[in-house]
Amino acid sequence: MPNFCFQDSLPNLIYHERNFSLPKSRFAATVVTFAKNYSMTATKGYAAQSASEPLAPYSFERRDLRPHDVQIEILYCGVCHSDLHTARSEWGPSAYPCVPGHEIVGRVTNVGEHVTKFKAGDLAGVGCLVDSCQECRNCKQGLQQYCENGATFTYNSPDKIDGTNTLGGYSNLIVTDESFVLLVSDRLPLEKVAPLLCAGITTYSPLRHWKVGRGHKVGVLGLGGLGHMAVKFAASFGAEVTMLSTSASKEADARRLGAHNFALTKDLEQVAKLAKYFDFIVDTVSAPHDYNMYLNMLNTDGTMICVGVPPTPTEILGFNLIGNRRSIGGSLIGGLPETQEMLDYCAEHGITSDVEVIAMKDINEAYVRMLKGDVRYRFVIDMATL
């Protein structure tokens, strides 16, 4: 029996079930709760109304606070490639209207009656997730992104309680369960913190999972929103970092970000020198490319970690794996405990994203520039301009 809402039948009341875990039945016991004077909060944002239309101003309503909810005034929201792909239904059909945005930082303005972790005035963040079953094996291990019953993403995802489509951070406020809200330090510029909620954790998590650190040689493929964070984290963890790029013009930036070496992958002589060189390669590229060339750069037992998502299937030659016991793996963002760990690490070590702050009205132009690679290295929307 799933969670559900029947406000259509009881317009002034919300009915929902809060499930209690019992050894043999997830739904063996339930309790019915009622929220008095159910209301919605007027919200401003930008939305795509179809896959072919540009984003435009959109007014909608956020839900009233549930007992464990946190309401956040959004100050900044990063612009991720996922936003563009989803707005244009490039990763499958999207639900419209679509309000993208999952790199959210802001200030808490209100909390539900059972909230214990936050209070009005706190700085807070919301990343790619706003809910999960919180009961499966992965959720209990803090791996909510791999929820076996399906995570609820910050936008274009059905809410587990009322079934409505989630609407993201291209808006002036958001309401989220406190379990999916993160504490944000006041020691770093908030506009530079916002992209850490996706680009940051997407690269931090696999580097931690594979225990990358001192003594390792790491190649980072692609210098963009993900790549520039992979360079910063890998260097901070003590690894020797080499930027692998098709553009010679990016060498100075790569070294500024912390790369020790730079290799132009269009130069076959430089590529040949890197045969069996790396312990790890972090592949951040989402455009079609030859995985086999980079697999050959891995030493024995080396691992290629994929965080980019090319649009078409990739052919991999089996001998490029079995010849040196190489591996290829992938990683999707990170769970809530690890995302908080990442934010704390960044606050302690002064690590932020390199950003270009834009006004909300310029989002469609930003999408065009993003497709051209014309950003160093993440657009961030100043929500005061909404």
How high is the pLDDT of residue 19? 35
Q: Where are the beta strands (DSSP E) in 159-316?
A: 173-177, 182-183, 217-221, 240-245, 261-264, 278-283, 298-306
Q: How far apart are CA 181 and CA 74, in angstroms?
A: 13
- Cβ atoms of 178 and 68 within 8 Å: the answer is yes
pLDDT exceeds 50 at position 26: no
pLDDT of 51 above 50? yes
pLDDT given at position 40: 86
Among 38-42, 124-128, 314-318, 326-330, whose mean pLDDT is lowest? 38-42
Q: What angle do CA 219, 225, 56 make, to 5 degrees?
A: 160
Contact 235, 224 (CB under 8 A): no
Question: Does position 18 have pLDDT exceeding 50, yes or no?
Answer: no
Q: Which of 124-133, 305-314, 341-350 has the lowest mean pLDDT?
A: 305-314
Band of pLDDT at residue 311, cut at 50, 70 and 90: confident
d(CA 284, CA 301): 20
What domains are defined for the chain? 1-38 (no CATH), 41-197+353-385 (3.90.180.10), 199-330 (3.40.50.720)
Q: Indicate the average pLDDT of the chain.
A: 91
Which pLDDT value is given to residue 32?
Answer: 30
Per-residue pLDDT averaged across 92-101, rounded? 97
Q: In sequence order, what DSSP letters do the residues of 324-354 get, joined into one string?
A: TT-EEEE--S--HHHHHHHHHHHHHHT----
Q: What is the pLDDT of residue 16?
A: 34
Judged against a pLDDT cut of 70, whether residue 385 lies above it is answered with yes
**Which pLDDT score is estimated for 39?**
63
pLDDT at res. 180: 98
Distance CA 156, CA 86 (A): 8
What is the C-alpha to C-alpha distance for residues 222 and 19, in angstroms, rounded to an integer? 44
For residue 116 the two structure tokens come to: 């214990």
Residue 298 in this model has a pLDDT that exceeds 50: yes
Instruction: Quote the Cα angle for 9-33-41, to 5°.
Output: 65
- CB-neighbour burial class of residue 356 (10 A; exposed 0-12, middle 13-18, buried 19+): middle
Mean pLDDT over 74-85 rounds to 97
- The whole-number average pLDDT for the span 159-177 is 97
> Measuring CA to CA, how many Å separate 99 from each of 35, 156, 338?
27, 8, 26
Instruction: Give residue 146's pLDDT.
Output: 98
How much of the chain exceeds pLDDT 70, in percent? 90
Residues 6+ apart with CB under 8 A from 322: none
Position 28 scores a pLDDT of 30
Residue 123 has pLDDT above 90, yes or no: yes
pLDDT bin (cut points 50, 70, 90) of residue 280 is: very high
Q: Provide the 8-state DSSP code for 109.
A: E
- In whole angstroms, how far apart are CA 274 and each of 46, 112, 267? 46, 55, 11
| Amino acid (1-letter code) at residue 365 | E
pLDDT in tens, 218-257: 999 999 999 999 999 999 999 999 999 999 999 999 999 9
Q: Which residue in the block uniquely carries the two structure tokens 């760990």?
A: 341
